[in-house]
Structure 1
């Protein structure tokens, strides 16, 4: 990796701890910095899009996130709903969101892509998927 290229910071959201750890390990092996969240609400808190203290959001940390990768199927708020909230935010709308799911449902995939998802990936994620994501992201930031 070129030393001039900053580390890509990814927020990985998945309610399943094993899936979360797999994604985290794959991303770290691809020289990414990773923050994890166990559900969509925690992700929104981290991104400063909801504040438990009802003050204005904290966008400081959020500005350091280069990509969000989230599971589609989670209790409470789904990955699709998380995607919509991120795309509605003036601060976060340009951050690429990747949705992953163990179910290959074409209508669900199309829904997510139409709502602004960068990619839709089928779980379990593989190293080749993460490399493809990373290359895609680096092209976006350099081009």
Structure 2
């Protein structure tokens, strides 16, 4: 189940003040890692949606069975996807390939994170279209780099 994190009103809807903040979809099978990235991004004035795997990420993005789902397309507008590389079921690399292979999602920047510094893995992800590859544990300086990238992508 997706978790939505932003400043919200009592009705659960995002307030107007936060609609212009960059929206990041964070994908990680580890609950603690999701909470860390969520907190760091929220502290950098981002709206954050977290999901626990690649399948949920694709559903949130409006892509099912390789086909766009227009009913969810508008609701899931994100400015960046940040995903763990090692996840059961669908790796971050496989998620990256599905996003970049979609005609309506291919422009969404994807950042891969991993606790393993494997040069061939890093190169493979960058060649497939990842904007960045970052090593865990993420630091606030890493999030600042992401924030700068988000602002450039939005202009």
Alignment of 1:20 with 2:34, yes or no, is: yes
Contact 1:59 1:91 in 2 (8 A): no
TM-score, length basis structure 2: 0.83
Check conservation: 1:23, 1:125, Cα contact below 8 A. yes
What's 2:94 paired with? 81
**Distance of 1:138 and 1:26 partners within structure 2:** 16
In structure 2, the residue corresponding to 1:93 is in which secondary structure? coil
Instruction: Give the match's secondary structure for 2:63.
Output: coil
Contact 2:100 2:129 in 1 (8 A): yes
The whole-number CA distance in structure 2 between the counterparts of 1:11 and 1:126 is 18
Secondary structure of the equivalent of 2:154?
Answer: helix
Q: Give me the TM-score of the superposition, normalised by structure 1.
A: 0.90
Are 1:120 and 2:126 an aligned pair?
Answer: no
Partners of 1:140 and 1:20 lie apart in 2 by 23
Matches for 1:44-55 after TM superposition, within 5 Å: 44-50=58-64
Distance 2:68 2:83 in 1: 24
In structure 1, the gaps of 5 or more residues are none
- Give CA-to-partner distance per residue, 1:65-110, whole Å, 9 cap, x none: 0000000000000000000000011111000000000000000000
Matched, 1:131 2:133: no
Measured in 2, the distance between the counterparts of 1:45 and 1:89 equals 13
Please state how far the C-alpha of 1:56 moved relative to its aligned partner.
Answer: 5.6
**1:59-78 aligned within 5 A:** 59-62=73-76, 64-78=77-91
Structure 2 stretches of 5 or more lacking a match? 1-16
Moved over 2 A (4+): none
Q: Is the 8 A contact 2:26 2:38 kept in 1?
A: yes
C-alpha change, 1:94 and 1:17, in structure 2 (3 Å) is same
2:112 matches 1:99: yes
